[in-house]
């Protein structure tokens, strides 16, 4: 089954509560929180994303997944574990070595929270393989992280296929999530390649009818 996760990156503060209500009513599977620290990427969304997460916790039941685009992974992991979210995803490019990545994975899991690892378009997809036995999902970036509304990078398709094959051959049960430039057309392409969770920001938020947009993405 294909699931859809709505990115709040391009949701304005004044519309945030209404958007949370409307998306939940439209049957979205996850709320996607894009935390950017102004260092790992230029943008800084730290305060706004924390605020949105608190609203979500107060007024909605939809699962919350956090996508950390930050340099200091540990402090953000701690702060989102404190709020309580369903999953936390960090970038393999954020930490220095395999040991640090494995430690962070086990720290998050110890707190009964699902773990995702994200990988940038320019990082070799094979670099994620050592962690596959320990994580719940891989978040394949299909744009350079940092902003919403960018164009889907077509090479993501092949990366997803390669990853999907590696997961299948090893008998792992891991979600493949794709993030960046997802619309009705690119959704079909990545689903065909093996993705089962789609993150979409601008495609959903700018549509007149959320329910219809989500249905189009599910294919
Ligand atoms: C990019 C973020 C994404 C992105 C999604 O760095 O991780 O979640 O904003 O937005 P769209 O769907 O507009 O590409
Ligand atoms: Zn994201």
In the DSSP assignment, the letter for residue 37 is B
Q: Which residues is 31 bridged to in the sheet? A: 6, 64
Alpha carbons 119 and 197: distance in angstroms, whole number: 15
pLDDT digits (tens, 9 = 90+) for 41-70: 999 999 999 999 999 999 999 999 999 999
What spatial distance separates the first Cα and last Cα of the chain, rounded to whole Å? 10
- For ligand 1, atom 6, the nearest C-alpha belongs to 145
Q: What is the pLDDT of residues 181-194, one digit of tens each?
A: 999 999 999 999 99
| Whether the model pTM is above 0.85 | yes
Tell me the C-alpha to C-alpha distance, in Å, between residue 134 and each of 78, 95, 102, 137, 215: 19, 16, 8, 9, 31
CATH superfamily of 3-218: Aldolase class I (3.20.20.70)
CB distance 199 to ligand 1 below 6 Å: yes
State phi, psi for 110 to the nearest 5 degrees: -60, -25
Q: How close is the Cα of 7 to the center of ligand 2, in Å?
A: 6
Where do the structural domains in the chain lie, given as residue ranges? 3-218
């Amino acid at each position: 089954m294909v699931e859809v996760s709505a990115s709040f990156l391009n949701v304005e503060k004044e519309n945030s509560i209404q958007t949370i209500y409307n998306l939940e009513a439209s049957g979205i599977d996850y709320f996607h929180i894009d935390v950017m620290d102004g260092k790992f990427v230029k943008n800084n969304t730290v305060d706004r994303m924390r605020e949105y997460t608190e609203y979500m916790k107060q007024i909605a039941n939809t699962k919350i997944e956090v996508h950390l685009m930050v340099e200091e992974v540990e402090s953000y992991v701690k702060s989102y574990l404190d709020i309580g979210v369903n999953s936390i995803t960090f970038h393999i490019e954020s930490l220095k070595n395999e040991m640090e990545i494995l430690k962070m994975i086990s720290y998050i899991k110890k707190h009964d929270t699902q773990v995702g690892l994200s990988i940038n378009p320019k990082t070799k997809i094979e670099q994620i393989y050592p962690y596959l036995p320990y994580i719940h999902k891989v978040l394949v970036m299909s744009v350079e992280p940092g902003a919403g509304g960018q164009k889907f990078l077509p090479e993501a398709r092949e990366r997803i296929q390669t990853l999907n094959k590696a997961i299948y051959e090893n008998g792992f049960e891991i979600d493949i999530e794709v993030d960046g430039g997802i619309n009705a057309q690119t959704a079909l392409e990545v689903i065909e390649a093996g993705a089962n969770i789609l993150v979409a920001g601008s495609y959903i938020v700018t549509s007149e009818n959320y329910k219809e947009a989500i249905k189009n993405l599910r294919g």
